[in-house]
Structure 1
Amino acid sequence: MTSKRTIRTWVVIDAVLVTVLVVLLVATLGGPSGSPGAPASTTATPTAAATGSAAPAKFRLPSGNIACTMAPSGVTCTIASITYEPPAVPGCAGDTGHVLVLNDDGFAFDCVDGPAPTVAGDDVPVLEYGSKATSGPYVCTSATDGVSCVDDAGTGFKLARAAWSELP
């Protein structure tokens, strides 16, 4: 027969284990990314480019499907997975639709030889949905429906897996 002391000891051990499990569960579900088991993400801080330095600022959207590099001279965004019909680029024998460039000449799809870009890795800072990154006259805004990048005159593009459009 088990003594009352042994039963109390097991109840205390069970209570401690349940408490530890609850704390771990709360820490996992309530972490910075808001999704179970997802790594904490970093907010993009394009301060070097925003202050006029020649160093480009890089960011990716939380999905990783879209990544951009910004500098005072322009913005280049890549998209790994698209469902829209890629636009034709005159004189291009390679692939189009995965790389967009915005600079003093306006915006255009770039002709790319080789494979499409891949999803951005964890080494690229995340620009959280609803946040903006700025470099020189260029501003990119992250949203759940893609990224929008414009110059100070409002010329630019909106890019998402399902569609792209010219802005304004």
Structure 2
Amino acid sequence: MSDARTASPLTVVVAAVTALVVLVCAIAAASMLTGRPDAAATAGATVPSVPDGPAVTAVSRDDAAGRPAPGDEPTEASGTALEIAAAAVTGALGSSTCEDAAADTAALLAAISGLGEAATWIDRGVLDGAVGQPVEVFAERCGSAHASAVVGALGLPAVVSGPLAAYVANGGARSSVDAAAARDELAVGVPANLLVGESASRSVQQFMLPSGNIACAIGGDGARCEIADADFGTDPAGACMGRWGGLVTVGSGPGSPGCLEGWSALGGGTVLRYGESTRAGGFSCASSAEGVACRNDATGHGFWLRSSAFLVF
């Protein structure tokens, strides 16, 4: 007779229930660890919607430094790029020696290449600050003739070359170079022997010419000469009640004619003979049969006075 025992039905049921409980517990534990609710737990539940966040556009990078990869570069110049180009224009014009127009043109062409098409400068607000104002300063420093030669050689379209010509003219109006050119052009008519400067032979401050018709005083802040017998026409301003042009002066600026209402005989009896000259206080005068010429030796401005005419420069 065998001693094996047959399990009772109750024992079998208990074992099955126990195994099922263990299985359910294992599934629940796995669900908690993975964060995923099982289908039974979520069945019939309402899941709230989550609003979309802002869209993000990815930009590819070609290296660890974060530079844009080829093809990602901006299509229009940034403010910084424009500022760099404008600074290049200012630097090119500011470094000019005012003597070589061809070199200045080449430097300016290279600088404006960073500003884009010249025909778009006005619409893009580039012309005034980036080019016009530096050109005006350039014309003031180097003179309008030099600046015009440089700007004209750029070959710019008329839409911008016209405004730039105005900037050149504005700078030239303040330019000491232009003033000197105008002065020298006028002074060409003065006999060279009357522009003496430091080569003056005397240092008297008041004198008369041998003719007795012209008397002068120099030193201090200017030179002044009067002429007793001459008629140079009518005062353009219509204000002179005496002799227009009977008085001419020069100080820190260009020489100028004035109205002589009474002969004062400035010379005080000292005669500056023809061929003699005098200098005092930075001003010089020379006497000749062709009249007298006086000049501010620092600025080059002055006048030439004679019985037939006067000239200021």
TM-score tier, shorter chain, comes to: 0.5 to 0.7
Give the Cα separation in 2 of the matches to 1:147 and 1:154: 16
Matched, 1:71 2:216: no
- Displacement of 1:121: 9.1
Give the Cα separation in 1 of the matches to 2:219 and 2:266: 20
Equivalent position of 1:159 in the other structure: 305
The answer for unaligned runs of 5 or more in structure 1 is: 1-42, 47-56
Name the larger-Rg structure: 2
- Displacement of 1:91: 5.9
Which one has a larger percent strand, Structure 1 or Structure 2?
Answer: 1
Give the Cα separation in 2 of the matches to 1:44 and 1:89: 36
TM-score, normalised on structure 2?
0.32
Matched, 1:104 2:249: no
Q: How does 1:20-59 map to 2 (within 5 A)?
A: 45-46=203-204, 57-59=205-207
Which one has a larger percent helix, Structure 1 or Structure 2?
Answer: 2
Identity %: 30
Equivalent position of 1:128 in the other structure: 273
Runs of at least 4 residues off by over 6 Å:
none
Secondary structure in structure 2 of the residue aligned to 1:97: strand
CA deviation profile, 1:41-99 (whole Å, cap 9, x unmatched): xx9752xxxxxxxxxx210000010000112210110000114x335253624221211
- Displacement of 1:135: 1.4
Equivalent position of 1:86 in the other structure: 233
| Distance verdict in 2 for CA 1:158–1:87, change over 3 Å | farther
The answer for unaligned runs of 5 or more in structure 2 is: 1-200
The letter for the 2-side match of 1:142 is S
Give the Cα separation in 2 of the matches to 1:107 and 1:144: 21
TM-score, normalised on structure 1?
0.57
The letter for the 2-side match of 1:108 is S
